[in-house]
Structure 1
């Protein structure tokens, strides 16, 4: 029932002298960090929820993504001035637990939301738990980097099948053959990603490391344990080779790396699923001069896996105060509704973490999401460490050490040794 409709009924009832049953409206204060297309879609979901729930109203605020958001969460939780509900990256779960800003999500909470742990992909659910198995967040999506491709540069090669879909990339050698074929067909930067930025560099590096079975930080806090340092060197050498061959852009920041692909200069783009709306909007408006697709990152090394993270729902600590049970029930009602309407969030390129939506007929026909949704089962999340995850020292090391190394400013061996030393120093 919409608020306007409720008001009209109330007015009619008042004129007729009929009493209306009273209800206690709950206001759920909400913080998120969504901008761009994500922000538009989230605001639409909030508006729809509010229209359908006159008894529970979301009062939303969007804050700056990254360090500013998590800093504000920490300071507000300490003094009891935080929101009732917030979005949270699961890669920052270790930080949240160390700071003591997250409250456990109980089985009773999930029940109030109409949810259960079995409703979620195991990879995202595990990332939402603490070391002891306690749930501290409810996953909303799985977002990863995928391989976008421009069909123009692959025409006449073995890398397009009869339906114009990407095929034949089953190893690093295959991928590099495709890059050279694209270069021969006139691609200015056969593969583009943010080579001068933290996120783009880190996610490609971490994927190549993980596909070798390497570990950046072990569960007991060891940086590059065992032979992982050698595997990290190998990952960096691959990225350096792409630079040396002229296949990837020179120190490209995020926006420039995206522009290389959308303007038709790159055959491939290694970037997040969140750029799917950009591609669809350009295509819809007639501003895209080529046919494109997007697939799960191929198995380039030993294992099929890809860096991934999740946006999730979390309930922060409120200083020394306990949340009123009725308010908490309202918060869980919001979470449950959002999960069950996640198909609208999937329109932003994400994979729903809530399996009933991810496995629905509607999602199965949503392209290119359905094509790369297989990555949900094999995703590798960031290490469970306070120095890893979004806006962390690990990301800083990617920008300050790995990126310069692949541009020739220091050797892969020296760079990985510096990464190891840098991350270890942040743990002390």
Structure 2
């Protein structure tokens, strides 16, 4: 609780007033969280409000993706943005160009009971400018993981005695597993959202980064041998598709259903689907034992596509000092209660939560928490991140190449040309 709040509370009690009669700081909150994420965040907001009669959050959930960020940009431009909001760190480069966020100082972090060292380095880097100025406070690291059918893999060379995946150290190893699953009757052995930019981008980028590849370097798209690495990543997925090892243009919901319906032995998707499979297993509708691991290292180095939900304070000239202090109090409280957010499958960015005994008992989260050290965030560019031109290029070029409509070489070359024209 802030100093001014303590003093106000003491004064009110001395005068015989209830704290509910005190002036409240009301914070307008915007987020883009729907489904299970939204339920959990609303519960956290309700708990915060109950504990803080001096600060009350009024929450609004807006449409995810481009509509959210367009609303933030236009509202901030006219001084009508929220006091605090959720933000994807992959969108930070564009936010810096549009000047929609305010910096958060080390002193302000301290006032919120936090320091940069409390967070995983990859998330703090993604939340900061190139010269180290913090622009948002990470709340989680959300990445893709490998969900798998433990029942089907029981007794095979790909399931260790500890119940974790094993023996998948190369593309060839993964291909062998998928070919075995195909022969065992799994029609689409590895499911993911294969029709568009979300799932396809995450698969492509994971394979690119596992080669040490970079999408954008020094303002150039796929410079040098990054082009060859991009072609290889696309070709791996195209070869799997040609063998019938991944589904033909599966929509998001269909890709999840393929795994739940035992048409796929493995499913690569975000950690946010952990509650889905937990709930299905609990009510008996899943029909098999499942688990999730970090996506196996199949190429030169461990890497997994990742992003972070973060808390940010918009560049609102009308914001008062009391409102800013209250927003920082909210941010600090949320980090200290981030175990509730971990229940949604996310890896908290706040390391004290991940290092806790309670988190260590949370599975499969504790097992795949290792990926926080191998998190491959989207390129730091105004054209990258959620609902960006990079995602559009994947929709229009990489996904068709995976499904045989153009070559991997042509897809990579056209993507380079298309995106390079947007860099200036």
TM bucket by the smaller chain?
over 0.9
SS at match of 2:253: helix
Q: Deviations over 1:214-240 (max 9, x none)?
A: 11011x211011200000000000000
Retained in 1: the 8 A contact 2:338–2:353?
yes
Q: What is the CA–CA distance in structure 1 between the aligned matches of 2:165 and 2:303, rounded to whole Å?
A: 18
The answer for the alignment partner of 1:398 in structure 2 is 394
TM-score by length of 1: 0.94
Retained in 1: the 8 A contact 2:210–2:299?
yes
Which residue among 260, 263, 269 is the counterpart of 1:265? 263
TM-score by length of 2: 0.95
Which residue among 236, 239, 244 is the counterpart of 1:238? 236
Q: What is the CA–CA distance in structure 1 between the aligned matches of 2:18 and 2:241, rounded to whole Å?
A: 70
Which residue among 363, 366, 373 is the counterpart of 2:359? 363
How much has 1:53 moved relative to structure 2?
0.6
How much has 1:266 moved relative to structure 2?
0.5
Structure 2, gaps ≥5 residues long: 2-12
The answer for the alignment partner of 1:10 in structure 2 is none
Following TM superposition, the consecutive aligned residue runs of length 4 or more in structure 1 with deviations greater than 6 angstroms are none
The answer for the alignment partner of 1:127 in structure 2 is 126
The answer for the alignment partner of 2:153 in structure 1 is 154
RMSD in angstroms over aligned alpha carbons? Answer: 1.6
2:286 matches 1:274: no
Which residue among 282, 287, 290 is the counterpart of 1:289? 287
The answer for the alignment partner of 2:5 in structure 1 is none
Structure 1, gaps ≥5 residues long: 2-12
The answer for the alignment partner of 1:113 in structure 2 is 112
The answer to which of 168-177 and 188-197 deviates more is 168-177
Retained in 2: the 8 A contact 1:123–1:377?
yes
The answer for the alignment partner of 1:31 in structure 2 is 30
2:371 matches 1:375: yes
The answer to which of 47-56 and 155-164 deviates more is 155-164
Retained in 2: the 8 A contact 1:153–1:186?
no
Which residue among 378, 396, 408 is the counterpart of 1:412? 408
Retained in 2: the 8 A contact 1:171–1:299?
yes
Matches within 5 A, 1:239-254: 239-254=237-252
How much has 1:152 moved relative to structure 2?
3.2
The answer for the alignment partner of 1:143 in structure 2 is 142
Retained in 1: the 8 A contact 2:138–2:310?
yes
Retained in 2: the 8 A contact 1:146–1:372?
yes
Q: 1:161 to 1:18 in 2, by over 3 A?
A: closer
How much has 1:24 moved relative to structure 2?
2.7
The answer for the alignment partner of 1:7 in structure 2 is none
The answer for the alignment partner of 2:7 in structure 1 is none
Retained in 2: the 8 A contact 1:183–1:189?
yes
Which residue among 311, 335, 341 is the counterpart of 2:337? 341
How much has 1:164 moved relative to structure 2?
3.5
Retained in 1: the 8 A contact 2:164–2:293?
no
Q: Deviations over 1:388-407 (max 9, x none)?
A: 11100111111110000111
SS at match of 1:427: coil
Retained in 2: the 8 A contact 1:157–1:181?
no
Aligned residues: 412
Q: What is the CA–CA distance in structure 2 between the aligned matches of 1:105 and 1:207, rounded to whole Å?
A: 31
The answer for the alignment partner of 1:224 in structure 2 is 222
SS at match of 1:57: strand
How much has 1:287 moved relative to structure 2?
0.7
